[in-house]
Chains A and B, each alone.
Chain A
Amino acid sequence: MTTATLAAPAADLAPKRRPRRVLPGFGPTLGFTLFYLSLLVLIPLSAVFFKSFSQGPETFWAAASAPRVVASYKLSFGAALIAAAINVVFGLILAWSLVRYEFPGKKLVDALIDLPFALPTAVAGIALTALYAGNGWLGRLLEPLGIKVAFTPLGVLVALIFIGLPFVVRTVQPVLEDMETELEEAAASLGAQRWQTFRLVLLPILAPALLTGFALAFARAVGEYGSVIFIAGNIPMVSEITPLMIISKLEQYDYVGATAIAAVMLIFSFVLLLAINGLQAWSARRMGER
């Protein structure tokens, strides 16, 4: 017997309301968790804020709001929003098909959904570039129509759609699987059309999951680097994404500038992370009610 279990009855004698710990190892494991987390994540991340605040607000603002940087925010956030919205539509269709329909190769399709998680971003980047470049399989078809994808903001969008797809499918899929058919049966017996049932009964149930998937895909897309830089062409003011601005400042040894942009991105990540946690709590409550 460990000392922890021997000590437990003695602690029980004290008239405290504090719940008694039965399982050992709380101190060491929590201690190690906090130590490792602080050392590798929290302290390094705080360096961004210390560095940007140490320069004074004017320097910070000048670096974070330079025209070229602002153009990159517009592209990164704009393309990420559109990509996440497209992923919501097709992610829902795919999740719906995987849960509700039978078709040959369904297991394979289900496994392939996770490809963007498993495939290194640089590989995705050069593969998409090869496809959409003027002499690529898709570029050759699109260019005569006047649509240029590679080395334009449209290319950024394509890459962000690629990396964001699994987030929506994998958040919506479990909710669809757990959904009871009684609701749809009730709606049908009350005379609702299929589309009405979907819009008025199913969509509200799926809304928290869809929003969570949207937020996850959006958050990932804003910070994405590897899959984008190859296809973006990186033309200043046109197709430079925000993470690339950090890299280019670093390459010029402009640490203050790089840090200021990083601080803007970090604050945005924190806000989005809080929003996602809130959304997931909402989604869990929704599922619990049923």
Chain B
Amino acid sequence: MAGAVASTLGHAPAAANQGRYQSNPATREASWVRRTLLTLGLAFLGLFLILPLVAVFTEALRKGWEVYIAALTESDAVSAVLLTLTAAVIAVPLNLVFGVAAAWAIAKHDFRGKQLLITFIDLPFSVSPVVAGLIYVLLFGSQGWFGPWLQAHDIKIVFAVPGIVLATVFVTFPFVARELIPLMQAQGRDEEEAATVLGASGWQTFWHVTLPNVKWGLLYGVILCNARAFGEFGAVSVVSGHIRGQTNTLPLHVEILYNEYQFAAAFAVASLLALLALVTLVLKQFVEWRHAVAVKEAAAS
């Protein structure tokens, strides 16, 4: 379940915890211990997380707004934006449908080998992105299994847009499923079974019973999936072929500019991606909050 634990929604700590530990002598540390731990933790966070983030924006604006705007409106940058959007627009809905189907089969039914299936779904998280790109080269590259056939029919997958989409689908594969499976397992089957017994069809049960219960979890999975789709570098880099204006996504465009020593431009494009990451964090926080509210309301009713 590599990579998944950290993204699981639905852990809402009791609000009553606030200050509870510090008012109880048994769970309290000496104030110098508390101060030392806080200082160490926050210094580490500042050094490793906040400073790089600040560096992206500072470097991006080092040569002024004109260079910044020019880097973002240049035609190669625009086509990189479009390609990144294309890959995400295809990969996210595909993995959304897969995640819902997998969660329905796994969480609402019993069958042999369920644990093994969950492990397989997690696989893309523990495979190196570079290996993820390589596997599609082995299948569809000119020396690959389907290479000669594809060449004979003049279809390009690797070093073209389809390869980029495939690699993106692979690296974002588990996000929605990983989010929905534990959530739907925790909610049990009683409500769906009641709906079915009362005569609802499978679709009706899903739309009117299951979906309202899991909508925040679903959205959470989609947000994470989308962030990864926008930002994937390693896997896409292997299958892209780095053709400017054609097979360059935003992260690859950052690399090209950086390697050409156009640092201000590279950081300008990078700042766009960093901004997207910050929006992702805000949305994520919002969905977590909404989910906690929904859970509390459900518990109260």
Contact = CB atoms under 8 A, between A and B. Distances in A.
Contact of B56 (A51, A123, A194): A123
Contact of A96 (B28, B37, B59): B37
B interface, over-half SS: helix
B301 interface: no
B295 interface: no
A204 interface: no
Interface residues on chain A, size class: 35 or more
Given A29-B102, A223-B128, A23 B109 contact: yes
A19 B111 CA distance: 10
Interface string A94-120: 101101111100010101111111111
A14 interface: no
Contact of B284 (A40, A114, A244): A114
A247 interface: yes
B133 to A, nearest CB: 9
B281 to A, nearest CB: 5
B127 A45 contact: yes
A243 interface: yes
Chain B contact-residue range equals 35 or more
A119 B22 contact: no
Interface string B20-38: 1110111111100110011
A203 interface: no
B196 A5 contact: yes
Interface in B147-184: 166, 169-170, 173
B119 interface: yes
B196 A22 contact: yes
B65 interface: no
A44 interface: yes
B223 to A, nearest CB: 9
B18 A280 contact: no
Contacts of A19: 110
Contact of A123 (B2, B135, B205, B251): B251
The 4 A-B residue pairs whose C-beta atoms are closest, nearest first, are A223-B128, A120-B231, A226-B233, A170-B6
19 contacts: A2-B201, A23-B196, A26-B109, A29-B101, A29-B102, A48-B131, A90-B44, A99-B21, A101-B38, A115-B49, A118-B277, A118-B284, A121-B233, A161-B48, A162-B48, A169-B6, A181-B24, A194-B28, A269-B126
Interface of A: 1-2, 4-5, 19, 21-26, 28-30, 32-34, 36-37, 40-45, 47-48, 51, 90, 93-94, 96-97, 99-103, 107, 109, 111-124, 126-128, 130-131, 136-138, 158, 161-162, 165-167, 169-171, 173-174, 177, 181, 184-185, 187-189, 194, 197, 212-213, 215-216, 219-220, 222-226, 230, 242-244, 246-247, 250, 253, 255, 258-259, 262, 265-266, 269-270, 272-274, 276-277, 280
